[in-house]
Amino acid sequence: MSNQTILFDFDGTLANTIPGILATLEATKQQMKVDFSLSLAQSLIGKPLVNMAPSLVGEERVGEFVNTYLEQFPAIGGEMVEFFPGVEPLIKALQTKGIIVGIVTSKRRDSLLQNLQKLKAEALFDFIVTNEDTEFHKPHPAPVEKALDLAGAEPKDAVMVGDSPYDILAGNGAGCTTIAVTWGADSEETVKAAHPDHLVNKIDELESLLFRIMKS
């Protein structure tokens, strides 16, 4: 029997981590003595660091960029995190109904775990899928497919929720129902271009929609 499952992106979907990520990127930029647009960097949030780096610092400095960012993150981005209002009650309400809830992120596991520890939410989710868990990353469907395996769920019984086109493309590619939220890093127009099945602007809209989908 397939388990009803909801998969969430983390950055910009469940938690307001974007200011911390941008502050870490600014510190990385200063440390490396390079210049790149933070607006460009923000548009790349949702990709693994190694895939963001070429557009920001060039292919030849990818390793340096990743290492510098990871050195800076614990004291900056690791601390600047909070759940969006209503997220924690939503997760608990879903689990009360027997729905499996997981995180699918391009973040490294240590960075996500630091954020969850800061939020006192290490035990809130049934599982996490991070950068290290798959060879390919969002927008490739592999991370979502990995999550479905962990949940024991068929795509028809699963929903992927995210704030970026990478989340929606990954969910669509895996055959899940997809929901785009508009309170994250990307504009409504940008995320709509990935063709989500649904789009919501508020957390209470998301909650109502999720319970409707899970009942159908």
Catalytic annotation, residues: 9
Q: Note the Cα 93 to chain centre separation in Å.
A: 20
d(CA 141, CA 124): 24
Tokens describing residue 7? 């998969």
Mapped to the 3 state alphabet, what secondary structure does the chain carry?
Answer: CCCCEEEECCECCCECCHHHHHHHHHHHHHHHCCCCCHHHHHHCECECHHHHHHHHHCHHHHHHHHHHHHHHHHHCCCCCCCECCCHHHHHHHHHHCCCEEEEECCCCHHHHHHHHHHCCCCCCCCEEECHHHCCCCCCCCHHHHHHHHHHCCCHHHEEEEECCHHHHHHHHHHCCEEEEECCCCCCHHHHHCCCCCEEECCHHHHHHHHHHHHHC
